[in-house]
Amino acid sequence: MSTAPAVAVTAPRRLVDGRERVTLNTAYVRALESAGLVPLAVPTMLAADRAGAALAAVRGLVLTGGEDVAPDRYGAAPHPRLGEVDPVRDAAELALIQAARARRLPILAICRGIQILNVALGGTLYQDLASERPSVVPHSDETSRHAVRARKARSSCMRSIASERYSFRKVSCVMSMASAASPE
């Protein structure tokens, strides 16, 4: 019997062949499994008041990529170029973050996951980098990918994944960094 630690991985809703499905990018599953972890999909349509229960038997939380975080979550008005948002997902992931912090579980945040984690900690976001923070980097290029390498991991549960290299599309930018203060 395996004693590999399980981690909760957020799995958003998608429309597939006209039906709403809970989906999970297989690259996340493969990466976590190759790091010796057992990924357990957590639907992001869970009611916020029950989402924390999904963390009862896991050793970490992985917040996956996806649509934009609703600007009202960080006190901003919607930008004309704001992408798709999912308020139900926002609520579930904010509850998961709160529960993970209360249990002192490690959190690995990828793309949108970084954004929602920052918002949960009191930070803000740029909604459209091209107009709000122009640069020579083509942030709107949907086809390009960039390598991500994590150098340090505090948690033994997530440590092995931190030494791997993965490729993700650059889609996010934090406007103001939230405080990393410990939960109350």
Residue type, 48: A
Question: Using an 8 Å Cβ cutoff, are 98 and 48 in contact?
Answer: no
Q: Residue 13 — pLDDT band, cuts 50, 70, 90?
A: very high
For range 83-102, the mean pLDDT: 96
**pLDDT per position as a tens digit, 37-88:** 999 999 999 998 998 899 999 999 999 999 999 999 999 999 999 999 999 9
The residue with greater pLDDT, 69 or 171, is 69
Block residue for tokens 């740029």: 126
Separation CA 178–CA 14 (nearest Å): 29
Q: Residue 180 — pLDDT band, cuts 50, 70, 90?
A: low
Question: Using an 8 Å Cβ cutoff, are 60 and 105 in contact?
Answer: yes
Residue type, 146: H
Query: Of 144, 134, 54, whose CA–CA distance to 99 is shortest?
Result: 54
CATH code for the domain defined by 6-176? 3.40.50.880
Domain boundaries, the chain: 6-176
Contacts of 68 (CB under 8 A, 6+ apart): 82, 83, 84, 85, 112, 115, 127
Look at residue 145 in the predicted model and tell me its pLDDT: 56
**pLDDT per position as a tens digit, 20-38:** 999 999 999 999 999 999 9
Task: Supply the pTM of this predicted model.
Answer: 0.79
Separation CA 178–CA 122 (nearest Å): 5
